[in-house]
Amino acid sequence: SNVNKAQLTNHDEKYYQKVYNAIAKKLIDVDDYDYGSYAPLLVRLAWHNSGSYDQNDNSSTRGGSFAGTMRFKKEQGDPENAGLVKGMNYLQSIKDQFPDISHGDLYTLGGVVGIQEMNGPKISWRPGRVDLPIDVTPPYHRLPDASQSTGEYVRSVFTQRLGFTDQELVVLIGVGHAIGKCHTYNSGFDGPWTFSPTTVSNEFFKLLLSEDWKFKKWDGKKQYEDEGSHSLMMLPTDMVLKQDSDMKKWVEIYAKDEDRCMKDFADAFSKLLERGIKFDTPKMYFKTLEEQGL
Ligand code: DDH
């Protein structure tokens, strides 16, 4: 059947903590990305590597993070993946240092490092993804198109394809877009969603409710900006979270309760990284550099 079985690796939690530390230390040493941090890009890489999963696909792998196919130019060529090569190049020196780790494991672990080193919650993670050849590369257009503006569209990606509930899709999108920014050279959109784009938080939810969001006046793609500072943005798909009453309920809960938001995000992000994979091994948790005094 088309279930990807994670393989046992020759390494334990201590080894993967070393890989974690190498990725995290490089975040401090290499700062030539926006806001001086590659962490948001690593989170987006982990998400796009995993978000190509389709539970209705009858192929052998169904996409997702298992086969590490994001390493191929074919998958990198999906217009939605524009800009991710920079994240993979960032991780190449880690792959050189720890050659045994599969690409799927490396790209997902990069996302865990990104979240945790930006003060986010602990994300459980497991190794065992296996590099497979190029022919299992998933087709394009599975990752969401930000110009879409209906709840039906967002659920077609997150619920029908990826198997998430409204609660999970709201927390994934809102915490994911608390960090980083849009780049015109990647997506045609521009700007950050929050005032603290290198801190994992519930700020996206607060701003979505508190600010007055109007169409940005420019020649670029249709996007929203806040009337207060004109420096923040929302994508059409982000605005859906407020326009759809079932989704909005969760936006209100997460805006009020940051602890709940972080806990639910941790569960949903971990699930995202493991879509379509069967693991027989226990979950691993990693310490941040700060917790190790490094
Ligand atoms: Fe996203 N995202 N995302 N996103 N995303 C972009 C950037 C980042 C959509 C579109 C865009 C998630 C869901 C969606 C992050 C994390 C997550 C950009 C800009 C677009 C466009 C790219 C660029 O120009 O560089 C859409 C549409 C959706 C949707 O679900 C409907 C989710 C679920 C996550 C997550 O992590 C769980 C992050 C981080 C970034 C910032 C990257 C950066 O370079 O900074």
% of the chain exceeding 90 in pLDDT: 98
| pLDDT tier at 106, thresholds 50, 70, 90 | very high
CATH number, position 67: 1.10.520.10
Burial class, 214, CB count within 10 angstroms (exposed 0-12 / middle 13-18 / buried 19+): exposed
Q: What is the CATH number of the domain that holds 255?
A: 1.10.420.10
Q: Which residues line ligand 1 (CB under 6 A)?
A: 40-41, 43-44, 47, 83, 144, 146, 154, 172-173, 176-177, 179-183, 186-187, 189, 235, 237, 269
Question: What are the b/e assignments for 242-257, b being 16+ CB within 10 Å?
Answer: bebeebbebbebbbee
What is the total count of domains within the chain? 2
Residues 188 and 247 in one domain: yes
Judgement on whether residues 51 and 122 belong to the same structural domain of the protein: yes
Burial 5-25 (b: 16+ CB within 10 A, else e): ebeebeeebeebeebbbebbe
Average pLDDT, the chain: 97
Q: How far is CA 272 from the centre of its chain?
A: 8
The H helix count followed by the E strand count for the chain is 11, 7
pLDDT of residue 229: 96
Q: For the residues 109-113, what does the mean pLDDT come to?
A: 98
Q: How confident is the model at residue 60 (pLDDT cuts 50, 70, 90)?
A: confident
**Which residue's CA is the nearest one to ligand 1's atom 10?**
146
Domain range holding 18? 4-142+270-278
* 224-226/213-215 β-pairing: antiparallel
Domain-embedded: residue 235 = yes
CA distances from 127 to 9, 75, 101, 172, 252 (A): 7, 22, 8, 22, 35
Residue 65 lies in a domain: yes
Are residue 15 and residue 130 in the same domain, yes or no? yes
User: What ligand 1 atom has the least distance to the C-alpha of 186?
Assistant: 24
292 in a domain, yes or no?
no
Percent of the chain with pLDDT over 70: 99
3-state secondary structure at position 170: helix
CA 188 to ligand 1: nearest atom: 24
In a domain, 284, yes or no: no
pLDDT tens digit string along 143-186?
A: 999 999 999 999 999 999 999 999 999 999 999 999 999 999 99
User: 136 and 37 in one domain?
Assistant: yes
For a ligand 1 pocket test, name from 42, 182, 186 the mutation site with the most ligand atoms within 8 angstroms of its C-beta.
182
